[in-house]
Structure 1
Amino acid sequence: MSGSLRGNVGKKDAKAQRAAGKVPCVIYGGKDQVHFSTDEVSFKPILFTPNAHLININVDGKEYLTILQDVQSHPVSDSILHADFLELDPLKPVIISVPIRITGTSPGVLRGGKLVKKFRKLKIKALIQHLPDEVEVSINNLDLNQAVKVGDLKMENVEFLDIRSGVIVSVMSTRNVEPAAPGK
């Protein structure tokens, strides 16, 4: 993503930027705040995806490694009014939400149970080099009335910030459930 520095900062300037098809943005978290503007179309690959992105922003020749922290949209037209980016420091941990990917086949679902997903994303804390693209949750051992909780997940160099007793995915019993085979 690239942008150009904003000369003025204020309501009039932001309104003029939006009228020109630009989005006023700010990068904070570093030594100084950087106010810049960029084209609204450059947000499309970032916003309309479930993935979390590290974003390199080039502002007048200077590179910033950031994550998108907040986006303000117009309530009627859904056009982007403003965006906040957090500058990342390789030596400081960052807190970010990453998507969950369910893998495997649950024996409880095969017997007629219903798979219930409670979380789409998990909030994690890690250094930039340890940030995963997604959190993989295996349901291979999930039988009827069992669940995978946040506290069950283990990833090296990653801290999960959601409540440990929070249920990520579970298999609920339904009326059409086959009884377990004898000896199981």
Structure 2
Amino acid sequence: MAKENFVVNAEPRVDQGKGASRRLRREGKVPAIVYGGKDEPTAIAVSDNELFKHLKVEAFYSHLLTLNLDGVSQQVVLKDLQRHPVTGYAIHADFQRVLADKLLHMHVPLHFKGSDVAPGVKTGGGIVEHQLNQVEVECLPKDLPEYIEVDLSGLNVNESVHLSQLQLPAGVTLVQLKHGNDQSVASVHLPRAAVEEEVPAEAAPAAEVPATAQKAPAADAAKKDEKKK
């Protein structure tokens, strides 16, 4: 997996609180915090434009980042991001320092391939449904993957790929599997409309009433009329 280099330039901020955060945003800056590692949590501010550009790249969310603060570079990961509910712009970010010998827990996106050649899709008329779009991994910082690939090329109708079937990079484990949760990642199934069309066709013979049974009520009625006479 090719890796990108992301640099986040930050400055310390002294004033905190809602008022200070609003002033920062008016200046084109996003309030943030960096914590973890061997140092105390530090309130910082980053450029709104710079962060906006980074956030458009998927790898930024699951990548080791270089944070420059007061002339010192440190490795961090983006652990949390708050966005404005209307505009979607970042209004606060949390960065976590990483240590080379300490395990990380990070959410990593899934990249799906092979759905167009899967037998269940190509010849079976099925469609692919994704149950997960990301997974939580545990690994050392040096082993952190930008994404995990999911191969769907072998799936037939009513088959699925589970977490235990994913090909993981060396040194990477899935947190879900450590807790015994081997859930489905993606599956192939027939469209709902196709399934609904098949059911009435199969049920039709059972719903047919024999001709003798159809005539029975009429014959009974005729006998009753004859007795009355």
TM range (shorter): 0.7 to 0.9
Distance 1:53 1:108, change over 3 A: same
**Per-residue deviation at 1:152?**
1.9
Rg bigger for which structure? Answer: 2
Partner of 1:182: none
Q: Going by fraction, where is helix more abundant, 1 or 2? A: 2
- Using the alignment, how far apart are the partners of 2:153 and 2:91 within structure 1? 44
Gaps of 5+ in 1: 177-184
The sequence identity of aligned pairs, in percent, is 27
What TM-score, normalized by structure 2, do the two folds share? 0.70
Counterpart residue type for residue 170 of structure 1: S
More relative contact order in 1 or in 2 (CA 8 Å, sep 6+)?
Answer: 1
Partner of 1:48: 56
Which has the higher mean CA deviation after the structures are superposed, 72-81 or 102-111? 72-81
**Per-residue deviation at 1:19?**
2.0
Partner SS, residue 88 of structure 2: coil
Gaps of 5+ in 2: 1-7, 196-229
Partner of 1:173: 190
Instruction: Give 1:142's match in structure 2, choosing from 134, 155, 158.
Output: 155
Q: Going by fraction, where is strand more abundant, 1 or 2? A: 1
> Given that residues 71 and 83 in structure 1 are in contact (C-alpha distance below 8 angstroms), is that contact kept between their aligned partners in structure 2?
yes
2:169 is equivalent to residue 162 of structure 1: no
Counterpart residue type for residue 118 of structure 2: S
1:91-170 alignment runs, 5 A limit: 91-104=101-114, 105-111=117-123, 112-155=125-168, 156-162=170-176, 164-170=181-187
Counterpart residue type for residue 22 of structure 1: K
Partner of 1:11: 18
- Using the alignment, how far apart are the partners of 1:167 and 1:94 within structure 2? 24
> How far does the alpha carbon of each residue in 1:71-97 deviate from its partner, in whole angstroms, 9 at most, with x for none?
222233333221111111111111111
> Given that residues 99 and 134 in structure 1 are in contact (C-alpha distance below 8 angstroms), is that contact kept between their aligned partners in structure 2?
yes
Counterpart residue type for residue 106 of structure 1: A
> How far does the alpha carbon of each residue in 1:87-126 deviate from its partner, in whole angstroms, 9 at most, with x for none?
1111111111111111223111111111111211111111
2:62 is equivalent to residue 57 of structure 1: no
- Using the alignment, how far apart are the partners of 2:89 and 2:154 within structure 1? 45
- Using the alignment, how far apart are the partners of 1:77 and 1:169 within structure 2? 32
Partner SS, residue 58 of structure 2: coil
What TM-score, normalized by structure 1, do the two folds share? 0.86
Distance 1:73 1:103, change over 3 A: closer
Partner SS, residue 25 of structure 1: strand
> Given that residues 46 and 53 in structure 1 are in contact (C-alpha distance below 8 angstroms), is that contact kept between their aligned partners in structure 2?
no
Q: How many pairs were matched up?
A: 176
Counterpart residue type for residue 50 of structure 2: S
Distance 1:29 1:171, change over 3 A: same
> Given that residues 63 and 144 in structure 2 are in contact (C-alpha distance below 8 angstroms), is that contact kept between their aligned partners in structure 1?
no
Partner of 1:82: 92
